[in-house]
Amino acid sequence: MTDTTAQISSTLVLPYLNHAVRMYEDSYASRADIDAAMRFGCGYPAGPLTALDELGLDVVRDQLAARHAESGDELHKPADLLEKLVAAGRTGKAAGRGFYTYADGEVVPDEETPSADDAPRPQHEIATVGVVGTGTMASGIVEVFAKAGYDVVYVGRSEEKVAGVQAGTTKSLDKAISRGKLDEESKSAVLGRLRGTTAREDLADVDLVVEAIAEDLAIKTELFRALDAICKPGAILATTTSSLPITACGDATERPEAVIGMHFFNPAPVMKLVEVVTTATTAPAVDETVRALCGRVGKVAVSCTDRPGFIVNALLFPYLNDAVKLAEEGEHDLSTIDEAVKAEAGFPMGPFQLLDVVGNDVSLAIQRELHEEFKHPGFAPAATLEKVVAEGNLGRKTGRGFHDYS
């Protein structure tokens, strides 16, 4: 690795690690869930707290302190917990203890380490699942549940949209057959579990509904109000929102205790992570049921509460935004930054490649939410991110974003 490569990577990755420490320090999510979220949600080789232990908490603390002295940015100031752990000699894997405890290089279970006894146990029986929506995410969720053996009722706005889900699922299953991962009998069984409809009333008897429609709060709350009237008592109502308040969805119903977030990642059949998001009124039994359900459909569930960004987006998008600001300084071109992060940090994609995959409009909307929630000046969306969105260069979906795909 060149000095330039290492410098670019540390410039972007160290604040991300610091944000993760603050998230854990705030008790927003557990140590294990923060690490699992970034591993399974972003494909990172290690979660941020594990990465800190490997790098050395004292080394990262010193580098952040130097950055803070230079920039004055409070986001670069080492988190209080980082300082406390270093002062206590808990400097990471080499010292035998950091965020985790180690013996012979392996993590030693402690009071925070989940055990088999801690596994969630379903409190509600889930046999039939409803899905509202027919887009890419909704279609993927339909496939996930049907492949796991659940009967699925999915609702679209038109017969054409409904047929599109059936066709898309069939295509996906055919692809799995061509790769030797599925046979024709299994394909027929999966398709036999699907029932498409344009009538929300057909969700009356499902045990859980997953909403996967447009990221518009007014539209979502109207839907939750309708689902509350349609669905049977005891049915769980879940939303896949990545940025809107789940509490508002619950408040639109007479059963806020049964409303929860199930934030799948795209493409849902492939990505392992689901962020299970509880509100102040979500019943513990509902949380337990949904987390257990995630395990039954082959997903890794991580838990957090209802605030913008949840775990993954709250850690990911400030890092992406920082990459845009670094490019604005003019010392490094976009491809150099992309390649430096991949080479040094082992991330599967560079920041500009990822922005273009996610969609720059989506990225900007999430960054604005984070800025509004946390009020950090450093979270203000980068000017160039605002500019590419204003110009309609939204990424791969438009053929041009930070990179050109035409």
Catalytic positions: 242, 263, 275, 313
What the block records as the tokens of 358 is 């996610």
Counting beta carbons within 10 angstroms of the beta carbon of residue 103, is it exposed (0 to 12), middle (13 to 18) or buried (19 or more)?
exposed
Residues 6+ apart with CB under 8 A from 178: none
Give the integer Cα–Cα distance in Å for 317 and 295: 27
Instruction: Judge whether 161 and 135 are in contact, CB under 8 Å.
Output: no
Of the chain, the end-to-end C-alpha distance in Å amounts to 31
Tell me the chain's radius of gyration from C-alpha atoms.
22
196 - beta bridge partners? Answer: 154
Give the integer Cα–Cα distance in Å for 138 and 150: 15
Instruction: Count CB atoms within 10 A of the CB of residue 243.
Output: 18
In 38-70, which positions are buried (b, 16+ CB within 10 angstroms) versus exposed (e)?
bbbbbebebbbbbbbbebbbbebbebbeebbee
What the block records as the tokens of 263 is 């934030």
The 3 state secondary structure assigned to 150-163 is: CEEEEECCCHHHHH
Instruction: Judge whether 348 and 366 are in contact, CB under 8 Å.
Output: no
- The owner of tokens 């017969």 is 159
Give the integer Cα–Cα distance in Å for 121 and 397: 40
3-state secondary structure of 101: strand
